[in-house]
């Protein structure tokens, strides 16, 4: 069985990853969208934080292993993610050696990120600014997009066209 392709949209909080992922899932019918935010929510539901009953493993490690399982079964994924630190980056790189991963950088200026955080009201103000120092560090991207300079439609089509240009038997 061939491994499923994994399109990773990596960028700071509020950069526009989720909306792009959802649009891509509409036009790439054999791809499924999954988010680190959704996975964080699952782990949070399992834990009893008030009583200190916490899972002693980083959520990202579980997330990476789950993505790998999907790919092992031929499931194509669109992943919106935030690679926050060296541990997360190293685990991702180690986990996906030999897997067909397409890395897309999602950029947005800090002033727009700050505005989006305030408008959304479901993010900690300043979270995106804190993530900017690391999120794109030491990552080789296949494609880069800017959600402020270009429209949702433009960015979605750019990623779609790139995916369509790849050989169907892509192995990284």
Instruction: Enter the pTM of the model.
Output: 0.87
Query: pLDDT-based confidence at 122, cuts 50/70/90?
Result: low
Where do the domains of the chain lie, and which CATH numbers do they carry? 6-164 (3.40.50.300)
Query: What CA–CA distance (Å, rounded) separates 131 from 134?
Result: 6
pLDDT at 17 over 70: yes
Measured distance CA(58)–CA(73) in Å, rounded: 24
């Amino acid at each position: 069985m061939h491994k499923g392709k994994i399109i990773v949209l990596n960028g700071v909080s509020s950069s526009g990853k989720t909306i792009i992922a959802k649009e891509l899932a509409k036009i790439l019918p054999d791809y499924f969208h999954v988010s680190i935010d959704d996975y964080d929510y699952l782990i949070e539901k399992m834990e009893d934080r008030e009583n200190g009953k916490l899972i002693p493993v980083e959520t990202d490690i579980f997330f990476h292993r789950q993505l790998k399982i999907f790919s092992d079964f031929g499931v194509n994924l669109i992943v919106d993610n935030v690679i926050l630190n060296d541990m997360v980056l190293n685990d991702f790189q180690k986990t996906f050696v030999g897997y067909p991963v397409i890395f897309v950088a999602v950029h947005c200026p800090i002033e727009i990120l700050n505005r989006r955080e305030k408008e959304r009201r479901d993010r900690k103000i300043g979270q995106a600014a804190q993530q900017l120092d690391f999120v794109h560090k030491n990552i080789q991207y296949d494609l880069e997009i800017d959600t402020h300079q270009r429209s949702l439609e433009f960015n979605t089509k750019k990623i779609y066209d790139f995916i369509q240009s790849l050989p169907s038997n892509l192995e990284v």
